[in-house]
């Protein structure tokens, strides 16, 4: 499967990519969401996160992150992210997930004129449902989101069989929502975005 940089010239480019914060860009296992506390290790970028956003920046594809965590949690979690990735400004108390408003507002903040070619990546089912309701392409994260909910060390300490079982269960749940693709973590994002571009080239709609 071709990488994003090697897509045919006729393949439609992506318009914008939205990311969840906890359990996606940072906070493997979405532990801050579970415990209501942002510890320093929660702010560590997840596997492939920084490479993914830098690749999007090189392609001049705008991106932003969004979360329903209160600012007291979200701000320290986002400390390791590049400053140019801005949080989407949307009140979690007004039309909360899974209403589509937060996704639409995030795209408006990025000055995106069309939903066509817009993608949401998250490990949080409610945010993914919001993206689906907003008419976006959606990519679910199986291992690093809230459905598995384990710290990186806990995940690595599992046997291969145990990881496959948890990953498989999360994948079934995510596809059950209706998401368009499921990957393990953001290290697999580039190939997945290339696949979505090819699906769009074939005329598929989200």
Are the CB atoms for 196 and 14 separated by under 8 Å? yes
Determine the pLDDT at residue 163: 96
**What pLDDT, on the 0 to 100 scale, is given for residue 13?**
86
Q: Is 33 left (phi over 0), alpha (psi -120 to 50) or beta?
A: alpha
Q: ∠ at Cα 114 (196, 194), nearest 5°?
A: 15
Element (H, E) at 16: strand 16-20
Residue spans of the chain under pLDDT 70:
1-12, 90
pTM of the model: 0.93
Q: What is the DSSP letter of 170?
A: H
Residue pLDDT, tens place only, 105-151: 999 999 998 999 999 999 999 999 999 999 999 999 999 999 999 99
What is the structure's pLDDT at 7?
A: 43
What domains sit in the chain, N to C, each tagged with a CATH number?
4-201 (3.40.50.1000)
What angle is formed at CA 179 by the lines to CA 109 and CA 87, rounded to 5 degrees? 25
């Amino acid at each position: 499967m071709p990488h994003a940089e090697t897509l045919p010239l006729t393949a439609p480019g992506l318009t914008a990519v939205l990311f969840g914060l906890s359990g996606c860009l940072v906070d493997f296992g979405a532990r801050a969401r579970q415990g209501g506390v942002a510890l320093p290790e929660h702010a560590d970028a997840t596997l492939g996160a920084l490479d993914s956003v830098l690749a999007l920046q090189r392609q001049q594809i705008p991106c932003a992150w969004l979360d329903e965590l209160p600012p007291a949690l979200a701000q320290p979690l986002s400390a390791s992210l590049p400053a140019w990735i801005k949080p989407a400004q949307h009140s979690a108390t007004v039309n909360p997930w899974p209403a589509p408003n937060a996704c639409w507002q995030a795209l408006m903040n990025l000055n995106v004129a069309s939903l066509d070619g817009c993608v949401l990546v998250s490990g949080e089912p409610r945010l993914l449902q919001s993206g689906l309701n907003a008419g976006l392409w959606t990519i679910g994260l199986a291992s690093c989101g809230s459905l598995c909910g384990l710290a990186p060390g806990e995940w690595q300490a599992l046997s291969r069989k145990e990881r496959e079982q948890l990953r498989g269960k999360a994948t079934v749940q995510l596809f059950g929502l209706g998401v368009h693709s499921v990957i393990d973590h953001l290290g697999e994002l580039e190939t997945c975005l290339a696949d979505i571009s090819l699906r769009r080239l074939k005329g598929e709609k989200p």
